[in-house]
Structure 1
C-alpha cells in the first residue's frame, strides 16, 4: 500500500501540492484553538510519514531543512493548543 500511495503522490503537480498544503496551513491557523491544532498536527504527521519514506533519497542538507520545517509546524500546533 505504501508504494501505491507514493506512486500516486509522485504524479501530483508540485505547484498544486504546494498550494494545497499552503491553503490547509492557512485554514489551520485561522481555525480556533484545538480544531486548528489538530489540522496542523495531521499535516505534520503526513509530512513526517512522507519524510520517513523518502529519507534515503534526500541529501543531508535537505533532510535538516525538512526536519526544521516539520518541527516548526509541530510548535505552531502546540502553541495553538495553549
Structure 2
C-alpha cells in the first residue's frame, strides 16, 4: 500500500469491478423507481459518494475520462434534483 493511500481505498481496489457495477446499477434502478423524495435522496447520496471517489482519483485520470465522469455526474445530480422537485 502506498503511503498516501488510505485503507478504505485499498479495500475498494480489491473489489470485483463487475460486482460493484451491478450493485450500483441496482441502487440506481431502485432509486429511480422509488417514490419522489426517497429516490432523489438515494441518488444524491450516490452522487456524493461519486464526488468523493472522483476527487481521490482525479490526478490519475486522463482528461477525456474526467470529462465523461463529470457529464455523468451532472446527469445523475440533475435526475436526483428532478425527483426531489
Which among 63, 66, 82 is matched to residue 79 of structure 1?
Answer: 82
Cα deviations by residue, 1:16-43 (Å, 9 ceiling, x for unpaired): 0000000000000010011000000000
Q: Which of 47, 56, 61 is the equivalent residue of 1:44?
A: 47
Q: Unaligned stretches of 5+ in structure 2?
A: none
Residue equivalent to 2:33: 30
Unaligned runs of 5+ in 1: none
CA distance in 2, matches of 1:59, 1:50: 15
The structural deviation recorded for 1:4 is: 1.1
The normalised TM-score by structure 2 is 0.93
Aligned length: 81
- The 3-state SS of whatever aligns with 1:54 is helix
Between structures 1 and 2, the one with greater helix share: 1
Q: Partners of 2:75 and 2:59 in 1: how far apart? A: 22
Could you say which structure has the larger radius of gyration? Answer: 2
Stretches of 4+ moved more than 3 A in 1?
Answer: none
